Amino acid sequence: MIIGDYYGAVELHREEKIVFAKFLAPHRVLSTCRLNGGLREDLDTLYNHQSCEPRAHTGLDLCHVAVKEPERYQKRIAGKAGIDFSKSASLGTAANVNNAAVAVELFEGLKVVAVTTAGVGGNGGRAGDPASYYQSENGVVIIDRAPPQAGTINTMLLISEELSPGAMVVASTLMAEAKASVLQELMAPSRYSEGIATGTGTDQVGIASLLGTRIRHTDANKHSKLGELIGKAVRRSLQEALNLQSGLTPDSRRSSVAQLARFGETEESFIDGVRDRLVEDVGDLFEANFLSANHDPVTVAAVQALVHVRDQFVWGVSPIGCIHEIMIGHAALLASAVSGKEIGREAMREELGGYEAAVESESLIELVRRSFAIGYGMKWMGRFED
């Protein structure tokens, strides 16, 4: 099935578990493909293929073939779609290609098309996170760390005008920045550290620019119009793909628990942690109305502020000597948001008793739970008394 025809030189198709760009005219291609990757000018197809389901599908033969025998894998997949594997570059994913999102940006005669599939929930990672393996002269050596889960962000970028080889590389760096900016705005968590994800451990890209055009671009940085179009197209396609694949949107992140997920908090652990600090009937009331409390925008904003302030200490922006005073002040704002009443810093300090603020995630979770309990315990106290 043809999804689209762009600038008269490329067709975008989807067939079963593969979405591919078929070049009707020569393109310069830069890709992460293991077999035909790097910079090429002799390819006629760029494709993205779903090799397995995102979860509990590791026993599938095709997954092992893709990792261990990339040539056999590419021959098998390309052949079924009528693609010459020797003249194609591939990207692989566990995301549903029916959820591939297309974004087009235009400026005068220049057209940029981004085609993205995206899953980040199980494999989100931050640059510099601990590795799970390394390559040696004897092959791959596994490091003692939880194995990565499925989750990949793949983008094919199609450009209607020629880019120099150097500009192709610049375009790839801009794509990475655009991706990271979307994940930062969503506060998507790394699954391998307490940081905000900048991508996944298996992200792949393919960039194709039409050769022999009247204009030849020698740069694609953020100051250029081409760079602007690339950034916008990649961002829009990624935002839509994340929504289609897993419902990851700004609205879905308006949740106190979602803001705490990168520190290991879950709905169940959060409810239990708050209930343990409330008398029984108030705890029952909190659990029954958890969704409302969890998604209240004023409360979520207070949690976001507390989390971000904690990050400032971790990053070294705020001096650690001020952590107790600052965290208690923001905890008072959180308790006030939950209760709908003004709770001052001194009153909050008294309510918290011997709590000592620290940068460790356990300390943050403890402070948020206790602030919720203090606020919820006061919420209806005396509201209808004469």
Backbone φ/ψ region at 264: left (φ over 0), alpha (ψ -120 to 50), beta? left
- The answer on 150 and 175 residing in a single domain is yes
pLDDT beyond 80 at 148: no
- The answer on 172 and 24 residing in a single domain is yes
Q: Where residue 63 falls among pLDDT bands split at 50, 70, 90?
A: low
Span 297-315, pLDDT tens digits: 999 999 999 999 999 999 9
User: Which residues are paired to 154 by β-bridges?
Assistant: 117, 204
- The answer on 126 and 219 residing in a single domain is yes
- How many angstroms separate the Cα of 208 from the Cα of each of 28, 32, 89, 222? 5, 12, 11, 19
Amino acid at 77: I
Q: Where residue 86 falls among pLDDT bands split at 50, 70, 90?
A: very high
Amino acid at 88: S
Span 14-31, pLDDT tens digits: 988 899 999 999 999 999
Q: What is the mean pLDDT of residues 257-268?
A: 96
- pLDDT for the residue 53: 57
pTM of the entire structure? Answer: 0.92
Q: What is the mean pLDDT of residues 372-382?
A: 87
- The answer on 211 and 354 residing in a single domain is no
- The answer on 113 and 56 residing in a single domain is yes
- The answer on 92 and 177 residing in a single domain is yes
CB atoms within 10 A of CB 376: 23
- The answer on 277 and 228 residing in a single domain is no
Starting at the earlier edge strand, list the strands of the sheet with 10-15: 2-6, 10-15, 18-23, 45-50, 88-93
Tell whether 318 is covered by a domain.
yes
Total domains in the fold of the chain: 2
- pLDDT for the residue 72: 83
pLDDT beyond 90 at 381: no
- The answer on 272 and 166 residing in a single domain is no
**Of 204, 234, 249, which closes a domain?**
249
Continuous H helices in the chain: 61-68, 70-80, 165-186, 225-246, 256-260, 267-275, 280-288, 290-295, 297-314, 323-339, 345-352, 361-379
pLDDT beyond 60 at 349: yes
pLDDT beyond 80 at 354: no
* Of residues 146, 254, 262, the one with CA closest to residue 197: 262
Q: Where residue 79 falls among pLDDT bands split at 50, 70, 90?
A: confident
* CA pair distance 185, 382, nearest whole angstrom: 39
- The answer on 307 and 188 residing in a single domain is no
- pLDDT for the residue 57: 44
* CA pair distance 42, 380, nearest whole angstrom: 71
pLDDT beyond 70 at 161: yes
- The answer on 204 and 126 residing in a single domain is yes
Q: What is the mean pLDDT of residues 352-360?
A: 87
Q: What is the mean pLDDT of residues 346-359?
A: 85
Structural domain harbouring 295: 256-379
- The answer on 168 and 56 residing in a single domain is yes
Query: What is the percentage of the chain residues whose pLDDT exceeds 70?
Result: 94
Span 41-58, pLDDT tens digits: 999 999 999 876 555 445
Instruction: Give the Cα-Cα-Cα angle 345, 346, 347 (nearest 5 degrees).
Output: 90
pLDDT beyond 70 at 385: no
* CA pair distance 4, 100, nearest whole angstrom: 13
pLDDT beyond 80 at 244: yes
CATH number of the domain to which 161 belongs:
3.60.70
- pLDDT for the residue 288: 96
User: Which segment of 78-82, 181-185, 263-267 scores lowest on mean pLDDT?
Assistant: 78-82
- pLDDT for the residue 386: 43
Beta strand pairing call for 27-31 and 38-40: antiparallel
Q: What is the mean pLDDT of residues 169-181?
A: 98
Query: What is the percentage of the chain residues whose pLDDT exceeds 90?
Result: 77
Q: What is the mean pLDDT of residues 211-235?
A: 98
Of 386 and 197, the one with more pLDDT: 197
**Of 196, 219, 249, which closes a domain?**
249
